[in-house]
Amino acid sequence: MNGTAVITGATSGLGLEFVKLLAKDGYRLVLVARNGEKLREIQAEYPERDIVAITQDLSIPHAAQEVFRELERRGLTVDVLVNNAGFGLMGLFDELDPDRQLDMIQLNISALTELTRLVLPGMKARNRGKILQVASMAAYLPGPMMAVYYASKAYVLSFSEALAEELSGAGVTVTALCPGPTKTGFGATASAEGTRMFSSRVMPADRVARLGYEALKKGKRVVITGTYNRLGVLGARTLPRSLAAKVAKSISRKT
């Protein structure tokens, strides 16, 4: 067994693909999600694997502490952390549900930060560990119509790159995965289906997860999935921020 891997948002999309990859590589899996029934279904699909299911809604403040307490209660140390849980919302900032936007900040930023902080001291003490933070190519530009989501992913990318440098030489690596539009349930949850964002060049979830996992194993700091997305990020970096915002707004329009 390679050790213990914790995956948040493990029941669908990229999270479920990470489950498949890490299970194949022989990790003991700790799966965290709010849907306990789906977690039990995954356990049943892998009867030969040691899978711990933790039903927890990470959009609740300090839920990450409950997850970490359960790990401690079971005597588990974390070798790999995949902070995948997150969601987006499309619409005008002042018209979207304010509570849902705060839930997004809690899940995309606070829970990710808190869980990282809780597992990191143990990794450093053992001089071994890998952390994968799921960001987005949205991290590279302001995003009108998804203002809070884009901003949350900018935080994830900046935080991950800074932490990776802090941990240089400590035996612990941090990788930020920055995918573009991906075939998951994200578009439906965000009410983004039917927009230019998802009209073409949408990558399959298994491909995105595999690229992220390969980068994690190599200790890369950032991976942007797909040539088209890498070119998009390059363009976003060269444009004035005001123009980049207009480009981002244009892809949020309905086709």
Among 27, 140, 149, 150, the one annotated catalytic: 149
Identify the three-state secondary structure at position 174: strand
**149 is an active site residue:** yes
Residues 6 or more apart whose CB falls under 8 angstroms from that of 251 comprise: 195, 196, 197
E strands present in the chain: 4-8, 28-33, 51-55, 80-83, 129-134, 172-178, 182-183, 203-204, 222-224
Q: Are 78 and 122 in contact (CB under 8 A)?
A: yes
Q: How far apart are CA 163 and CA 138, in angstroms?
A: 20
The CA radius of gyration of the chain, in Å to the nearest whole number, is: 18
Q: How far apart are CA 133 and CA 107, in angstroms?
A: 12
Query: From residue 175, how far is each of 28, 232, 246 by CA, in Å?
Result: 20, 20, 29
Which residues participate in catalysis according to the annotation? Answer: 149
